[in-house]
Amino acid sequence: MNIKTTRLTSVLLCTYLFISCKPSNSVAVESEIDNIFSNNWQNADLTNYFLEEEITYQLTPEQLLTLIHANGKKEFRIVPGILDEDIYLKFHAIDKKGAITEEEWAKNTIEVSPIAYLNLLQQKERDTIVENMTDTPYRITIEEARKYKDAWYRKKKEEINEITKVNGERVAYFTLSEELVLHLSNLEIDHINISWGINNTNTLVGVLIPIGKDKIMNREDVYIINTPTSSRYASKKI
């Protein structure tokens, strides 16, 4: 890619001897990596990143439980970033002071496309809305999920950097409700598939699909994360 981003490997190489002699400074190195992660995302031209083969992300219920059990957590966030020319997702538990009390990384994968999962559900003629959860803002139908994914696949090269903005600034993170995190952590599934979509206001959203332990989608649930925030934050791990 012809995109100038700070490479993690160079940082690790330069700090290797320093860390090995002074382990107590590992926190400072970790903070530097976090800065590279977020700064690359904020400053990169995302055009080429999002025009290549679709990368999706996997997070397990066990990882979500780790966030749920974090001390003093007030909210949960999905934070996109770039390291070594790849986009990654981190999940944070944030306390009332804005500090990161727990962190989990989603696994990057290209195993199965989200559309393939949605097609499987449609073939089974399942409805993703459960009667007593129709007022839940983060639960969506298969048709809605397909609409967001179709809009993502139809995006034009020149639109990408605008799609990833809110109020004129690059999206910094997405907020997750505690209700949703707790719900997903209690599902008897293998992992949650996370991919990108575009909503009705032409803004980047996340589409979450629970995947069963047999690697096949065996639930009726599809969820959307449509709470992007552009304000960059200086949260630190404690």
For 31-110, list the strands marked E by DSSP. 56-59, 73-83, 86-95, 100-105, 107-109
Residue 119 forms part of a structural domain = yes
- Per residue in 123-180, pLDDT tens? 554 443 333 333 456 788 778 888 888 899 888 888 999 999 988 899 999 998 888 8
What domain range is 130 assigned to? 56-229
Contacts of 218 (CB under 8 A, 6+ apart): 212
Tokens read off for 88: 């990654």
Is residue 25 included in any domain, yes or no?
no
Does residue 39 lie in a domain region? no
Answer yes or no: is pLDDT of 60 > 90.
yes
pLDDT, average across residues 14-41: 62
Q: Does the residue 188 lie in any domain?
A: yes
Q: How confident is the model at residue 231 (pLDDT cuts 50, 70, 90)?
A: low
Q: What is the DSSP letter of 53?
A: S
CA atoms within 13 A on the CB side of 124: 15
Please say if the pLDDT value at position 13 is more than 50: no
What's the pLDDT at 212?
Answer: 78
Contact 73, 55 (CB under 8 A): no
- Tell me how many domains the chain contains: 1
In a domain, 12, yes or no: no
**Beta carbons within 10 angstroms of residue 118's beta carbon:** 20
